[in-house]
Structure 1
Amino acid sequence: MINIENNLDDNIKHIKNLFHQTSDLVVRKLKYGRHRSKYAAIIYIDGIIDSEIIQEFVIKPLLDFTEPAKKNITIDLVSEVIESANFRMVTQFQEVTNEIVNGNTVVLLEGHNKAITVDTPMWNERSIEEALGERVPQGPIIGLTEKLRTNINILRSMIKSPDLCIENREVGAISKTQISVVYMNGIVDKGILKKVQSRLSNLSIKYLLEARIIDEVIEGKKSIFTLNKRTERPDVLASSLYEGKVGIIVDGTPFAIITPSLFIESFQTPDDYFLKAGRFTSRFMRFGGFFLSVYLPGIYVALEKFHQDNYSEKVVKSLFSDGELLPVFWEMLLLLFILKILMDATFRIPKSSIILISLVATIIIGQTAVTAKLLHPASLITIGITFLASFLIVYRGLAEAMGTLRFLFVIAAALLGFNGLIVGTTILILYMTNLKSAGVPYLSPIIPLRFKELKDTLYRGDLKSLINSKHSYPDNN
C-alpha cells in the first residue's frame, strides 16, 4: 500500500498513472483560501458522477472557504465546509482509486497527506419493473433491479425493523464488486450465517460479473440440484429472512440468492400465501407435475420395450409402434433434444421471431414427422405432457435438475425397464438425503422428519400460525 504524499502534483501524477492516463479521469485544480494562495485538486471519473453535486456542494464551498485569521489551513477545517452527508478521509492511493471507480469524488490539498472522498455517484439504471420470471395472479409485482442500493432500498421498505442487518463486502482483485449479506438479527440461524460468512471470506477471484460464482461458493459441493434459491421478488426475499435464512445481493444482478434452499420449497409459490384457494391442492398438483415430468418418458419407454406382449396388436399400434423408422427409445431422446433446442432458442432469438419458430417447430416435429412415419403420435403426446407438467414447477432451479433426471430415467428404463426406474429412484433418494444446503439437509423437514415444520410443506397451513411460528433448521455437520 502506497500512502498519499504532501506534494499535490506528485499525487495527481500517481493517480493518473494508476488509471493509465484514461481520458475520462477528470482532474480539476483550483485555488482556495483567504488569499487564494492554496491549491486543491478535485478528481473524479466523468459520466458516473453527479456534476451538480460536485459544483454545489464541493467546488462552491471550497471557493468560498476562508480560513480563520492567524490559523493554518488544515484538512479537517476544509472538510467541515464540504456540504455532503457522506464523506471520509483516506490516506492510501488504493483507497483513492476504490472511491473514484465507485463514482465518488476525491479532494486533494497541497501540503496534506490525506484525501477527502465525497459520495457523488450517478449510475444509470432501469426503473423498477414487474418480476417477469415469477409472476403471480395476486400480490406484490415489483422485482429487483441491477443496482444494489436500489434493492436494499426496496427491502428496507418491506422490512421496517432495526433487526434487518446488512453486511457489505467487496469481491474482486482487478475490479471490486459490492455484495451485501442480509439477515434478521435474532431470527437468523447462527450456524447458517457463520457458514455463509466463512465461505464468502475464503472467496478469492479477479472480478465478479455474475452472481453464479457466489452461488457456487455458498453451495460448496457440486450437485445436479440447485442448493440455493434465486429470486427476483423482494417479497420472497423478505419472507425468507423472517424464516431465519440468509440472503445475498450482488451489485449488477437483478435477483437475490437465498440459503438454505430445501427441496420442498421448489413447490411453493408466492401466490400460495396471497390466495385462499388451493392451499391443499396446489402443491399436490405441482408434485404430480414433477413426477410426470421426470418419470413419464421413462415409463413410456419401459412399457414399449418390455411389456408390448401384454397388449393387443391394436393397442400396440395405437401406443407404441406402427411401422415408424425410429424405436421408441430414440424417439424419446430425439424429442427431448429438439424441445431443449427450441426452449434454448426461445431465449436467444428476437421476440418478433418466436411465432415463426413456433410455427416451423409445429410443422417439423408434429405433422411432418408423423406423416413421414419418423415418430409415433403417442411419443409426441408423451413428450408434450412431460413438458406441460414441467411448467407447473415455476422454480427454475429445480427445472434444471428435472431435465437431467428425465434423461437418466429414460436410459435406465431402456436398459432394465421398471426395475431400472426403481433402482434409479432408490439411488436418487439416497443421493438427495446426503445433500445439504448451507449445512441443512436438502430433504428437510421430510428427511429427517420434523413434524412441527410440516405445516408448510405438502399443504399451506394457517397463515397466522405460520407467521407466528419460529423456524429452525437441523444441522447434521
Structure 2
Amino acid sequence: MPKIEMCLKENIEHIRNTFHDTSDLIVRNLKSGCEGSLEMNIVYLDGIIDTDVIQDYVVKPLLEPFETEGLNESLIDQIMERIVESADVKTTTQYQELTNGIVQGSTVLLIDGFPEGIIIPSPKWAERSVEASIGERSVRGPQIGLTEKIKTNINLIRGSLKTPDLCVETVEIGTNSPTSVSILYIDGTVDNGILKEVKKRIHSLTVKYVLSERVVEEVLEGKPKTFFSRLRHSERIDGAVSSLFEGRVVVMVDGYPFAIIAPALFIDFIQAPDDYHISMGRFTSRIIRFIAFLLGIYLPAVYIALANFHKDDIPTKISKAIISDDEILPTFWEIAILLFLVRILVDVSFRLPQSAVILVSLIGTIVIGETAVTAKLIHPVSLIVIGITALSSFLGANRGLVGPDATLRIVFLLTANFFGFNGIIIGTTILMLYMVSLKSLGVPYLSPIIPFKMQELKDTFYREDLQRLTNSKHTYTKDGD
C-alpha cells in the first residue's frame, strides 16, 4: 500500500489520478501558519460534505496566524489538538485510508513537507426524513420506521434501548466500494454462540461492492439454499429492540431501511407487532395466520385432488356445483391459469405508476372474473378457490412467507394432479422432514416445537402474559445441544 509523500504536489496529483480527475473533487489551497509559511491543501468531494462545517471549524481556524517554528515534529498534533475544531479527527500515512475517507464524506488536510494526512469526518448525505413504518403497520405501538442511513437507525434504536450493554460493531464490506455493516447485540443477553457465528460469516464475506443487502443475507443464511427464509426483516424500531432483548443479533446494512434479525425460526413468521400492543387475539391471531398459510399452500391442491380422483365420491348435486362440468378447460388448467394471471396482476400492481393501478385492477377483474365465467372458460368455484388462496397468501406477504407459499403451492398442485390425496400426504411428510433438517445459524428451524422445549412455548402459537414474557430468558437449541 503506497504511503503519503513529503511533497504536497505529488500527493495531490496521486489523489487526482485515483479519482480520475472527476469534476466534483475539490482541492483548496491554503497558506497558514506565521506569515503564511505553511502550504496546505484541503481535499473533498463536493456535494457529500457539509461545507459550512469545514468553513467554520477547519478553514477559518487554519487561516488564523499561529507559531510554527521549532514544531516540525509536533505540528500535526498541534493542528489536530488546538486548531481544527472537530470532534473526530485522525491521521494516516496511507493513501488508501485517505481515499476511503474522501469517498465516505470526510475532508482531508495535507501539508507540504509532512508525509501524513489529517482526516476530518464531515459528511452530509441526502436522506429522507424519519417516517412511519409502511410495510409493518400497527394499530398501536411505535410508528417510526427505519431509514436508509445506518447511523440514523442506530440512533433510533439507542433512543429506545437505553442501556450501556448495547454493543455496536461496524465493519466495511466491499473492496471497490466499501459499505458499512453494523452488528448490534446486548452484552450479557445475546446468545454468544449465535453472535460468534454471525461475526464469523460476515467477516468471511469478500465482495467488490454491496449493491443489495441480499449479499449479506446469503452469507448469513449459509447452506443449503432454501425457499424458507432463515432470517427475519423488520423496519420497526420495536421489532429490532425486542429481538435484541431475546438474545438475537441484529445486522444493519447502510442504505437498507430494514434490520436483519438472526436467527429466525418458522414460528417468528406468523407473529406481528400488534400481538404485543393489543390484548385482542393473543390466543387466536397467530393460529389464524398459520391456517391462512396452510390454505395458501393446500387449497388449490385439495380442489384438484377432489376434481381428479374423488368426483364420484361426492354427492352428484355438490359435485356439479363445485367441480367443472361443461367448462372448456379442465380443472387443473383453470387453477393453473388463474394462479398465473393473479401473479401477473400482483407484479403489475407493484411495477406500474400508482395512477394506473386502479385501471389495471378493473381490467383484471373483468378478464379474470365475469368474462371468463360467462364464456364457460372457468368454473366460478375455481375463482373462489384462487381468491381465498391469494388473500391467505397476502396475510403473510410482509412476514417472509411469500417464497415458501408460492413454491409449495405449485409443488402440491402438481402432486395433487397426478397422485391425489396420497401424493399430498406423502409430500407433506417429506416437507416436514425437510423443515426439521433446516437450521438458522445452528438453531433448528422448527424450534421450540421440534425439538420440543416447554419453557419456550410461551411465545409461539399464543402470546403469554407480557410481564412473564418480558422477564423470561430465551434460550436456543443449537448443534450439539
Alignment deviations for residues 412-460 of structure 1 (CA, whole Å, 9 cap, x no partner):
1111111111001000000000000011000000000000000010110
Tell me the equivalent position of 1:98: 100
Q: Does 1:57 align with 2:88?
A: no
One-letter identity of the residue aligned with 2:58: V
- What's the TM-score, normalizing by structure 1? 0.98
1:21 partner amino acid: D
Select between 135-144 and 383-392 the one with higher mean Cα deviation.
Answer: 383-392
Residue 321 of structure 1 is matched in structure 2 by 324
Rounded Cα–Cα distance in structure 2 between residues aligned with 1:94 and 1:61: 27
User: Which is worse superposed, 438-447 or 67-76?
Assistant: 67-76
Tell whether the 8 Å contact from 1:209 to 1:252 is kept in structure 2 after alignment: no
In structure 2, the partner of 1:331 is 334
Task: Quote the residue 2:66 is aligned against.
Answer: 66
Q: Tell me the SS of whatever aligns to 2:326.
A: coil
Moved more, 314-323 or 105-114: 314-323
How far does residue 68 in structure 1 lie from its aligned partner after superposition? 5.8
For 1:12-411, list aligned pairs within 5 A. Answer: 12-67=12-67, 71-72=71-72, 74-80=75-81, 81-221=83-223, 222-411=225-414
Question: Which blocks of at least 5 consecutive residues in structure 1 are unaligned?
Answer: none
Q: Which amino acid aligns with 2:22?
A: T
Distance 1:396 1:185 in 2: 28
What is the letter of the counterpart of residue 76 of structure 2? Answer: I
Unaligned residue ranges in structure 2 (runs of 5+) = none
1:447 corresponds to which residue?
450
Displacement of 1:325 in angstroms is 1.1
C-alpha distance after superposition, 1:258-305 (max 9, x if no partner): 000000111110110000111111111111111111110000000010
Is the CA contact (8 Å cut-off) linking 1:65 and 1:78 kept in structure 2?
no
CA shift for structure 1 position 392? 2.5
Alpha-carbon shift at residue 396 of structure 1 (Å) = 3.7
Structure 2 distance, partners of 1:439, 1:51, is: 48
Tell me if structure 2 keeps the 8 A contact 1:134–1:394: no
> Which one-letter code corresponds to 2:258 in the other structure?
F
Distance 2:361 2:117 in 1: 60
- Partners of 1:142 and 1:335 in 2: CA distance: 38
User: Following the alignment from structure 2 to structure 1, what is the Cα–Cα distance between the partners of residues 207 and 328?
Assistant: 52
Query: Per the alignment, in what secondary structure is the counterpart of residue 472 of structure 1?
Result: coil
Q: What secondary structure is seen at the aligned counterpart in 1 of 2:329?
A: coil
Deviating more after overlay: 444-453 vs 188-197:
188-197
Give the whole-Å Cα distance in 1 for the aligned partners of 2:385 and 2:197: 43
Give the residue type in structure 2 aligned to 1:79: M
Distance in 2 (alpha carbons) for counterparts of 1:311 and 1:376? 17
Q: What code does the residue aligned with 2:48 have? A: I
TM-score, normalised on structure 2?
0.98
**Contact 1:131–1:232 (CA under 8 A) maintained in structure 2:** yes
Conservation of the 8 A alpha-carbon contact between 2:275 and 2:281: yes
SS for the counterpart of 1:254 is: coil
CA–CA distance in structure 2, aligned partners of residues 328 and 70 of structure 1: 93
SS of aligned partner of 1:417: helix
Change beyond 3 A, Cα 1:65–1:429: farther
Asked whether the 8 Å contact 2:270–2:399 carries over to 1, the reply is no
On the 8 A contact 2:68/2:75 being kept in 1, the answer is: no
Structure 1 segments, 4+ long, off by >6 Å, are: none
Deviation at 1:69, TM superposition (A): 5.8
